[in-house]
Amino acid sequence: MTTHRIAVIPGDGIGKEVVPAGIEALEATAGRFGIGLEFDTFDFASADYWQRHGTMLPPDWEETLRAYDAIYFGAVGWPEVVPDHISLWGSLLQFRRTFDQYVNLRPCRLMPGVRSPLAGREPGDIDFVVVRENTEGEYSSIGGRIFEGTDRETVLQETVMTRVGIDRVLRFAYEQAARRPESHLTSATKSNGISITMPYWDERVAAMQEQFPGVRVDKFHIDALVALFVLHPDRFDVVVASNLFGDILSDLGPACTGTLGIAPSANINPERDHPSLFEPVHGSAPDIAGRGIANPIGQIWCGSMMLDHLGHPEAAAHLLGAIEDVLAYGPGEAPLTPDLHGKGTTAELGHAIAERV
Amino acid sequence: MTTHRIAVIPGDGIGKEVVPAGIEALEATAGRFGIGLEFDTFDFASADYWQRHGTMLPPDWEETLRAYDAIYFGAVGWPEVVPDHISLWGSLLQFRRTFDQYVNLRPCRLMPGVRSPLAGREPGDIDFVVVRENTEGEYSSIGGRIFEGTDRETVLQETVMTRVGIDRVLRFAYEQAARRPESHLTSATKSNGISITMPYWDERVAAMQEQFPGVRVDKFHIDALVALFVLHPDRFDVVVASNLFGDILSDLGPACTGTLGIAPSANINPERDHPSLFEPVHGSAPDIAGRGIANPIGQIWCGSMMLDHLGHPEAAAHLLGAIEDVLAYGPGEAPLTPDLHGKGTTAELGHAIAERV
Ligand SMILES: CC(C)[C@H](C(=O)O)[C@@H](O)C(=O)O
Ligand SMILES: CC(C)[C@H](C(=O)O)[C@@H](O)C(=O)O
């Protein structure tokens, strides 16, 4: 039995509350499938750490985390103590680049017992995944300000796209599509308006297509695409997008399925040269932190994605199935948390899922 | 009676079909309110013109159009004949910049008889307007490609934001908000990721706020905002956004209200130094063009926005009311077009609205 070493970073707010539930579910699944998991917990990448040290990370964070097969992350951000641009650029966005986690993967799926804001949609109708480029593009920190404080004040920021950067995420997306029954890839563009970088993106999509003749490809401008997410979310299978467009689509998708509060995300280095990071989408949620009522499903679902990445697709599917079973019981039979109209606590819902495993 | 001179550009596809219905409704409204309108029609900014002349516009287009108080536009784009980036940058995007139409205004409104894709929403629930910056930002054409054809290939595109450019659209948005009962302005940002231009945008929003103490202001990152459009569209009143974010939000908003096929847009130069342009959102719709079944409501609603811009708010409201009345009759009593589950033609629905005026 190989043992996978997992670095656990609970971070801020409800991150600290949902991570234990996630570990409980992971241990149950690992036990059942004979997978070895070893967890070490770190206190950095949090507002507490910032208050004590004045930095988000210790100097040797990179070496430390490199020793692990994956990072199981709660949430970072506590604006009362440290401004978001410092906490995020000083931890999460730093991890993505240093560990070349160039794929951000986010499933968008209607789940049983979860109400979608869209009329007339049923579980099974919507089940797609957004593949977001996660290291370059619109998130470059290159640019600046000139004529400061005057009427001529002008601010520039450069979008940077490279062949290497685009091709590797496209390859991942094509591979995902090729593996799925529908084999359908949708590319987000805006080449009619963003007239230099986006036509290049389109070119690379077309070039890569030659290597995946079995994948059906289409593309939509981002404005049309957000509309389609609302009007025809059932049309999508794998959606690939630049850093910014992927950020937008991977919040909009879970919003359409009603799962924004329970959606997972995976920041992946597909070559496994560096650890990948698994983090729920919900963030630290200052408004409900400390009350023990946060929904742990996003964190547990992240565990399922982590198992898949570590080479255990069956265990991953089993854990996701356990989540869906407990959701399907509904608030009458399962200790669902208040966001799901139940009266359960974080810990109770976590136990229920771990037991179901 | 002042007479307003209107340049009519039907353009491509269904543009040519819906514009006559729009003019009919405008003439009926003008007659009722004693407003003078004079229409001249131009054939440029169309694929036909491109085929005959090899350009989208005649050399003297700017002088020609400057003589008018407003431009009443159908749709441009016919990719079979001329690629979109040529037809759009050679006409519409050109007009926006040359005539400093720095505000793009798009109402998002649940209409009677129009089905929203969102569950449980009724007319009256959703009624907001997106104010989009329309001349700078992410749509700059500055940048380029280096190391072409090699593995090092890199593409750059600059986002350019100026104090003048941001402040003038913010002022317009604040003024809109101040005039509405809720006096609520929402700003779209992404300062946690797009770390140079968007923090500057936020700064200018805060600076302008001092001049409008009666306006309640909030801001959301664009990823959170697209989710809120789906989850709580009733929360918005006026939404202000950069060129790209505004493009995205002003398609998503009408998608959420089910009105993407009938939504209008106004490209406005608020100082009236240059003509403003009124154009439905739907585009040239090659799939249904030539069949006489396109829904003319977007074009007619544009007419209402144009009347408002020309200083006739009552006439504008009356025309919008006529549209709503006819929609409320439903396909049984009104000649609604097939997209609204009726059997009416473009001309029949246009007549019905003109009569109702
Ligand atoms: C056609 C395209 C360039 C244009 C834009 O993005 O501005 C359109 O989407 C719009 O919103 O008017
Ligand atoms: C916090 C923010 C910088 C981040 C992003 O935009 O990448 C977040 O929205 C995400 O999607 O992980």
Tens of pLDDT along A121-164? 988 899 999 999 999 999 988 999 999 999 999 999 999 999 99
Q: Which residues contact B169 (CB under 8 A, 6 or more apart)?
A: B102, B103, B131, B132, B133, B134, B240
Measured between beta carbons, the chain A residues lying within 8 angstroms of B197 are 143, 155-157
- Reported as a single tens digit per residue, the pLDDT across A55-104 is 999 999 999 999 999 999 999 999 999 988 889 989 999 999 999 999 99
User: How many angstroms does the Cα of residue B46 sit away from the middle of ligand 2?
Assistant: 41
C-alpha span between B7 and A304 (Å, rounded): 60
Which helix (H) or strand (E) segment holds residue B7: the answer is strand B3-11
Q: CB–CB of A156 and B153 under 8 A?
A: no
Residue A258 backbone zone (phi > 0: left; psi -120 to 50: alpha; other: beta): left
Q: What is the pLDDT of residue B34?
A: 96
Measured between beta carbons, the chain B residues lying within 8 angstroms of A83 are none
| C-alpha closest to that of B122 among B132, B133, B111, B130 | B111
Question: What rounded mean pLDDT belongs to chain B?
Answer: 96
Distances (CA, A) of B276 to B71, B76, B244, B302: 6, 16, 20, 12
Nearest-CA distance A44 → chain B (Å): 20
B154-162 and B184-189: which strand pairing?
unpaired
- Greatest alpha-carbon pair distance for chain A in Å reads 66
Q: What is the pLDDT of residue A155?
A: 98
Q: What is the pLDDT of residue B50?
A: 96
Q: Which residues contact A289 (CB under 8 A, 6 or more apart)?
A: A12, A13, A14, A17
Q: What is the pLDDT of residue A251?
A: 96
Return the residue whose CA atom lies nearest to atom 9 of ligand 2.
A247
Find the CB nearest B153 among A152, A162, A191.
A162
B143-146 and A238-241: which strand pairing?
unpaired
Q: CB–CB of A157 and B159 under 8 A?
A: yes
Cβ proximity of B161 and A155 under 8 Å = yes
Atom index in ligand 1 nearest the CA of residue B96 equals: 7
Which residues approach ligand 1 with their CB closer than 6 A? A 192-193, 223; B 88, 247
Low-confidence ranges of chain A (pLDDT < 50): none
Burial (CB count <10 Å: 0-12, 13-18, 19+), residue A85 = middle
Rounded to 5 degrees, φ, ψ at B108 are -120, 115
| C-alpha closest to that of A197 among A176, A178, A215, A222 | A222
Q: What is the pLDDT of residue A165?
A: 97
Low-confidence ranges of chain B (pLDDT < 70): none
Cβ proximity of B241 and B226 under 8 Å = no
pTM: 0.96
Q: CB–CB of B192 and A154 under 8 A?
A: no
Q: What is the pLDDT of residue A299?
A: 98
Q: Which of residues 88-117 of B touch A (CB under 8 A)?
A: 88-89, 93, 116-117
Q: What is the pLDDT of residue A141?
A: 87
Q: What number of CA atoms fall less than 13 Å from residue A167's CA on the CB side?
A: 12
User: How many angstroms does the Cα of residue B31 sit away from the middle of ligand 1?
Assistant: 33
Q: Which residues contact B103 (CB under 8 A, 6 or more apart)?
A: B131, B132, B133, B134, B169, B172, B266, B267, B268, B269, B270
Test mutation, B92, B104, B163, chain A, max A CBs within 10 A: B163
Sheet with strand B238-241: strands edge to edge? B36-41, B3-11, B70-75, B276-280, B264-268, B103-109, B127-133, B238-241, B184-189, B216-221
Q: CB–CB of B158 and A160 under 8 A?
A: no
Find the CB nearest B156 among A154, A159, A243.
A159
Q: What is the pLDDT of residue B263?
A: 96
**SS3 at position A220:** strand
Q: CB–CB of B117 and A119 under 8 A?
A: yes
Q: CB–CB of A199 and B88 under 8 A?
A: no
Q: CB–CB of B193 and A138 under 8 A?
A: yes
Atom index in ligand 2 nearest the CA of residue A243 equals: 7
Cβ proximity of B215 and B183 under 8 Å = yes
Q: Which residues contact A156 (CB under 8 A, 6 or more apart)?
A: A143, A144, A145, A146, B158, B159, B160, B196, B197
A 10 A CB-CB count for B125 gives 14
Measured between beta carbons, the chain A residues lying within 8 angstroms of B199 are 85
CB of B192 closer than 6 A to ligand 2?
yes
Query: Please, what are the domains in chain B?
Result: 1-102+269-357 (3.40.718.10), 108-263 (3.40.718.10)
**Dihedral sign (CA B1, B2, B5, B10):** negative
| C-alpha closest to that of B202 among B218, B214, B215 | B218
